[in-house]
Amino acid sequence: MQQGIWIGGRSDLGSFLSQPADETFVGFVVMSNFPGAAWLDEYRDRVNGDPELNVIGEWFNTTFTLTFGDHRYALKIDQGKIAEIIAAPRLDVRSSFGFTAPVEVWEKFLGPDPPPLYHDFFAMLMRVPEFRLEGDGLVAMQNARALHRLMNIMRETGMPDA
């Protein structure tokens, strides 16, 4: 099981990383874009070490996406654990649903003192139009309990370093 944050799938698709064309593509790179590789690493570790998800996550098996502004990630969930985070997933990375919002919205959600309406993903779904659930809402709501815990762990992980 891969535990790294895999940026892209194959070297021939490395151009989307906006790297200079003459640079050799490497699979694991340090991202400067929000929320950043270090934050995603920490988030994955918190999710995978979470005692509550050990209790409630057994049947949470799907892939869903998180989109921060222009940057999209697919999270492969296996029994409530993050098996893999795929940056800029290609068309062959299937996902059932996803959350998308501008970076400014995510920053409010992840901040230490979230403003009202930005303190919970259900609150944002109802009151923040820029925060959207895309894809199959049925799968999302079938997993509401574990998914909610996963999203709340984002808040516990906190604001990414600048």
Partner 1 sequence: MPNSPMPKDAMPDFEPITGRYIGLDISGERHRIFVEEAGQGPPLLLLHTAGNDSRQFRHLMNDAAITERFRVVAFDMPYHGRSTPPDRWWLKKFRLTTESYLGIIRAVWLALGLEKPTVLGCSMGGAIVLKLAARYQGEIAGIIGLESSAYAPGRYNDFLHHPAIHGGELCASYTYGLNSPYSPEVNRRENWWYYAQSGPGVYQGDVYFYSIDWDAREDIKEIDTKRCKVALLTGEYDYSCTPAMSEAVAGAIPGAHFALMKGMGHFPMIENYPGFRPYLLGALDHVAAAV
Residues in the site for partner 1, rule: CB under 8 A?
114, 116-117, 119-123, 126-127, 137-138, 141-142, 144-145, 148, 155
The least CB distance from residue 43 to partner 1, in Å, is 18
| Nearer to partner 1 among residue 92 and residue 113 (C-beta) | 113
The least CB distance from residue 123 to partner 1, in Å, is 4
| Nearer to partner 1 among residue 71 and residue 119 (C-beta) | 119
| Nearer to partner 1 among residue 26 and residue 126 (C-beta) | 126
Q: How many CB atoms lie within 10 A of CB 136?
A: 15
Residue 25 in contact with residue 17, Cβ under 8 Å?
Answer: yes
Q: How far is CA 10 from CA 17, 31, 64, 145, in A?
A: 12, 17, 21, 35
Q: Where are the beta strands (DSSP E) in the chain?
A: 5-7, 62-68, 71-78, 81-87, 97-101, 132-135
The least CB distance from residue 1 to partner 1, in Å, is 27
